[in-house]
Structure 1
Amino acid sequence: MLMARNLIDLKKMQHSAGEAVKLLKALTHPDRMLLLCQISKGERCVGELENLLNIHQPMLSQHLGALKRAKLVKTRRVGKNIYYAVANDFAMSIIDQLYRHYCLKNMLI
């Protein structure tokens, strides 16, 4: 009986592993990490992101599109401006940990 409690549902585990891999793939580019760090601090429009991070079109649009497809960010349009905001709190908790470990540590030098 004890043995049955420890069994893992392979289908659920495979699905979860696939979801984790999608998230990690979306995070594997330095520019996407920078974008997520900026967006995690508050909603930003495309022009702001371009100026803050010095990432220019069309690369900026490609990275933002990848983050949107991965459901890490959501958009809101106001006139001609598109604003990006956090759409996945779990992913942002990972970004927060990476920020604390890599960014804050290097800023204190």
Structure 2
Amino acid sequence: MPRVTALSPDDRASVPADVAPLDAVPPEAASLDVARLRAAACDATALLRALANEDRLLILCQLTQGELSVGALEAQLDIRQPTLSQQLAVLRAESLVTTRRDGKRIYYSVADGAVLAVLACLYDQFCPKS
């Protein structure tokens, strides 16, 4: 694992202005309970592991627009139904999506605001601005 070191003044100059420096972390963060941090890190790694698949990330990004059926996701994302079902099962198992049944159709939506917040951050960093 790489060591995290403080940025030199020259390195700081190359950091975009909208990125908060590490010294902007509140002082109380330094005294946080390690057990609580470990639990939070466990939750974060579970979310990041689930997001580390292109199809799952695309599915979640599409669901940020609202609830969608499997058929709608398949049409919009061009992901074949077997693959889509497999990836939706992973997202369900990780509690990242919720489901609602209406007759024979199952509708999916993003489970909570924390997932939406991470997706918004990823969108801001990686998606082209038009």
Q: Quick one: structure 1 residues 62 and 15, their matched pair in 2 at CA, closer, same or farther if it must change by over 3 Å?
A: same
Q: Which residue of 1 aligns with 2:38?
A: 14
| CA distance in 1 between partners of 2:62 and 2:98 (Å) | 14
Consecutive aligned runs of 4 or more in structure 1 exceeding 3 Å deviation? none
Structure 2 stretches lacking a partner, 5+ long: 1-29
State which drifts further: 9-18 or 77-86: 9-18
Aligned AA for 1:69? A
What is the rounded CA distance, in whole Å, between the counterparts of 1:92 and 1:7 in structure 2? 28
Structure 1 residue 10, shift from structure 2 partner: 2.4
- Flag the structure with higher helix content: 1
- Count residues in correspondence: 101
- More relative contact order in 1 or in 2 (CA 8 Å, sep 6+)? 1
Q: Following the alignment from structure 1 to structure 2, what is the Cα–Cα distance between the partners of residues 87 and 104? A: 25
* Correspondence for 1:3: none
Task: After TM superposition, give the deviation of residue 9 of structure 1 in Å.
Answer: 2.2
Matched, 1:42 2:58: no
- Tell me, in whole angstroms, the C-alpha distance in 1 between the residues paired with 2:94 and 2:72: 22
Aligned partner of residue 55 in structure 1, secondary structure: coil
1:58 CA displacement: 1.4
Larger radius of gyration: 2
Per-residue deviation, residues 26-63 of structure 1 (Å, max 9, x unmatched): 10011111101110101000000000001112110111
Looking at structure 2, the residues matched to 100 and 7 of structure 1 have their Cα atoms a distance apart, in angstroms, of 30
TM-score where L is the length of structure 2: 0.72
Which residue of the partner structure matches residue 90 of structure 2? 66
SS of the equivalent of 2:127 reads: helix
Match of 1:57 in 2: 81
Identity %: 44
* TM-score w.r.t. length of structure 1: 0.85
Q: CA RMSD in A?
A: 1.3
